[in-house]
Structure 1
Amino acid sequence: MATFFLTFAALLIIMLGMSLGVILMNKRIKGSCGGLNAIADADQCLVCNKEIDPNSPLRERLACPRARKMLEQMENDRVG
């Protein structure tokens, strides 16, 4: 039982330190590149504005109908 509380306290201190770092550095938390950005048929990433590799393996892997439906829904939410 003591191990649980020691581990919980250590993780709590680590999370507090990370959150204080973000707050004191005055930076926004932003998403990562890739994911749906890589298959959205866009020229640039929505997060970092870097060019997206047209030969990304994510495009082939996520080209299923379910992924296409998710993309369409994402685009509709962004527009409307």
Structure 2
Amino acid sequence: METFLIAFFAFLVVMSGMAVGVMFKRKPIAGSCGGLNAISDADHCLICGSAVDKDSPLKDRLNGECPRKKAMREKLEREAAMEGSAGKA
């Protein structure tokens, strides 16, 4: 229980410090330049104005099937095809 209380108060202090920092800077909290901005069709970041990477893997994940899921599906299809051809021989 003591560990929980120590951790709780440590998180409370950190969160309070971040809140005070935001209040004094008077800037809104913003995301990173490459995150969700990379998946939009914009040519530049909505926050800082820098160019967006057109080859971002985030676009593949949201515009189609996740690359890992696609690779797994293709692997299973190949294995099924091999089993099917081995069963015919």
Mapping 1:54-69, distance limit 5 Å: 54-64=54-64
Question: How far did residue 13 of structure 1 move?
Answer: 0.9
Distance 1:27 1:36 in 2: 20
Tell me which stretches of 4 or more aligned residues in structure 1 moved more than 3 Å: none
Q: What's the counterpart of residue 46 of structure 1?
A: 46
Aligned AA (2:11): L
Compare the two structures and name the one with the higher helix fraction. 2
Distance 1:33 1:60 in 2: 18
Question: Matched residue of 2:63: which SS?
Answer: coil
Q: What's the counterpart of residue 4 of structure 1?
A: 4
- Which structure has more relative contact order (CA 8 Å, sep 6+)? It is 1
* Segment of structure 1 superposing worse, 42-51 or 52-61: 52-61
Amino-acid identity (%): 52
Aligned AA (1:24): F
Aligned AA (2:60): E
Structure of larger gyration radius: 2
Distance 1:12 1:28 in 2: 21
Can you give the 5+ residue segments of structure 2 that lack an aligned partner in the other structure? 66-89
Question: How far did residue 20 of structure 1 move?
Answer: 0.7
Q: What's the counterpart of residue 69 of structure 2?
A: none
Q: What's the counterpart of residue 36 of structure 1?
A: 36
How many residue pairs get matched?
65
Distance 1:32 1:23 in 2: 20
TM-score by length of 1: 0.65
RMSD: 1.8
Q: What's the counterpart of residue 13 of structure 2?
A: 13
